[in-house]
Amino acid sequence: MATEFEPRVGDWYRTITGDNFEIVALDLDDDTLEIQYFDGMIEELDMDTWCELNIVPIEPPEDWSGSLDIERDDYGVDLEMHGNEARSSPLDSLDRED
């Protein structure tokens, strides 16, 4: 099944193999578009190839780390904070330092 979706920068799709990608550039003069997969790889497609893709639209992923090639520990913050810890301001620690 060929795609009937008009490419727009910022739209996200999933291929039949489960790869998620975003359209990051359109060049109407050259009739090409660039897509960036969740893992960061960029690919240029011509419009004929785009029309032949078997894809479905998806919501942008909540976890944006894929294209940045970082691990959960690399965020530099505790993502599992609970209770009052989650509401404290990073500036609070400045007041406590001597």
CA-CA distance, 49 to 81, in Å (whole number)? 45
Best CA proximity match to 56, nearest among 5, 91, 92? 5
Residue 6 lies in a domain: no
Q: Are the C-beta atoms of 34 and 23 separated by less than 8 Å?
A: yes
CA-CA distance, 86 to 81, in Å (whole number)? 5
Residue 2 lies in a domain: no
Looking at residue 66, its pLDDT comes to 54
Element (H, E) at 92: helix 92-96
CA-CA distance, 19 to 58, in Å (whole number)? 11
CA-CA distance, 32 to 40, in Å (whole number)? 19
Q: Are the C-beta atoms of 13 and 5 separated by less than 8 Å?
A: yes
Range of the domain at 86: 12-60+69-96
**12-70 per-position pLDDT tens digit:** 999 999 999 999 999 999 999 999 999 889 999 999 999 999 999 999 988 765 555 55
Is the confidence at residue 90, as pLDDT, over 90? no
Looking at residue 61, its pLDDT comes to 86
